[in-house]
Structure 1
C-alpha cells in the first residue's frame, strides 16, 4: 500500500485533486499541458507533488474565469518555462480586450439611446460600402439577412441589395451585439423590437446582463492576479532569476 505522502510535505495526485475539487485525471492533464510544473517521481514511478504545484493549480483555476481557459493555460505555460514577460503580455492583452468590450457595450448603449440615427451622408448604401464600414465581409451581411437581422430591398433594375438608413442602423446594432458575444438567434428578436418601435425594455435587460458579465470578468481578473502573484512569489526559478539579475 502506498504511504500518505502528506507526512513529508509531498502530495499525491489524489491529494491535489481533492483539495481543488478535481479528478486525478484532470490534475495529470494539467501537468501534461504545462499548466503545472513537472511532478517528481518516486522510485516506483508514482507522481509526487509539492505545495508549489498546489499554488500553481490554484493560480490557474483563479485565472480561468477572468481570462478564459485558453489564455489562462498560455499564461501558466509561459510562467512555467520562465518566460515571465510573455505571461505578463498575455495578461495585458486580456485586460485590453476587456476594455475594448466595455467600449463596445458603451457603443451599444449609445445606439439604443438613439434608435434612429441621422441618415448616412450618402443616403442608401450597397452591400460593399456597408460591409467596408462595418469591417466585415459582404457574405456576413447576407447571412444576417437570412437570419432576419436586416431587410434590404432589391434594386428593381440591377437586383442589387439596397440598404436604407434604417437597414444601416439595424446592421450597426447587429454588429455591436455580435461583438458582445450574442448569437444571431438572440439578436434577431431584439432587432425586430427596435424595428417595430415597440420599446427597448428587452435591450435594456440584455445590456444590464452584459454589464454584469463584464464586471464579473473584471473581478475575476483581480482574483486571478492575486493568485498568480502568490504563485510567482514562491517559485524557486523566479527567485534565482531575480537574484542573478540583481548580482549583475
Structure 2
C-alpha cells in the first residue's frame, strides 16, 4: 500500500478539529461525531483532553465525503468503519454491492426504455366497447396473449386500474389502462417482478403517458452517470487513505 507514515511523523503534523472542519465547510461537532461513529480513526488527546488530529484523519475525512455521493451516507460510513477496523475485505464487499446496484439500475432503465419503445400505437376501440372505453378484460387479455386472471392479478398489484361499467359491473379498460397493461406485459417478459413494475407504471401515469417521460429518462441517465463518476472519485480518495492508514498488526 506504499509507505505508511510513522507514528512520529503523524504526531508532528497536528491538526485541530476546526482545521479539518474548515476544509469541507463542516462544523467541528460534525468532525467529532464522525470520529465517535468510527468513520475517522480515534484521535489522540493532549494532557488537557483536547483532540489531536493528523494528516491521517484529514485523508479519512476526504475519503468519507468523497464516497457519499456514489454510495450514500450509510454505506460510506460502513466502508470507513470497516477500513478503520482493519476489515478491508468487508469494505471492498460493500463497494462491490454498490456497483452491483448501479448495474441493476442501469438494466432497469434499459428495460423501461425498451418496453416503452416496444409499445404499439393505441388500438382502435372494440365494436362492442362502451363509449370512451377501449376493451373489456377478455379482449384485452386476448390481445396481450395472457389469461384474464393475469390482468386481475395486475390490478391487485396496482399495475392497471380499470373502472367498472355501472350497468354490467364488468371491468372496462380505457386507453391509459391498455397502455399500462402493455407496458407491464413488456416488463414482465423482461423478468421484472410486479413490485418492481408498479412504481414505473406510476411514473408513466404521473407523466401523462410515455412521451413526457423522455425528459425523465434523460435525467435518469444523467443521474446514473453522475453516480458512476462519483464512485470513481470516491475510490480514488479511499485508495489514497488506504496508502496512508497503518497496516493491522501481523500484516
| TM-score normalised by length of structure 2 | 0.72
Deviation sequence 1:214-236 (CA, Å, 0-9, x none)? 00000000000010011011111
Asked if residue 53 in structure 1 is aligned to residue 65 in structure 2, the reply is no
Partner of 1:217: 227
Alignment check: 8 A CA contact 1:154 1:162 kept: yes
**Between Structure 1 and Structure 2, whose CA radius of gyration is higher?**
2
Matches within 5 A, 1:182-201: 187-190=204-207, 192-194=208-210, 200=211
Partner of 2:199: 178
Alignment check: 8 A CA contact 1:120 1:165 kept: no
Among 226, 229, 241, the alignment partner of 2:239 is 229
Deviation sequence 1:37-57 (CA, Å, 0-9, x none)? 111111111111010000100
Partner of 2:144: 120
Structure 2: which 5+ residue stretches go unaligned? 1-9, 122-141, 188-194
Partner of 2:93: 89
RMSD in angstroms over aligned alpha carbons? 3.2
| TM-score normalised by length of structure 1 | 0.73
Query: Structure 2: how far apart are the matches of 1:121 and 1:85?
Result: 49
Among 120, 129, 154, the alignment partner of 1:130 is 154
Aligned residues: 211
Alignment check: 8 A CA contact 1:125 1:162 kept: no
Structure 1: which 5+ residue stretches go unaligned? 1-5, 132-137, 145-149, 195-199
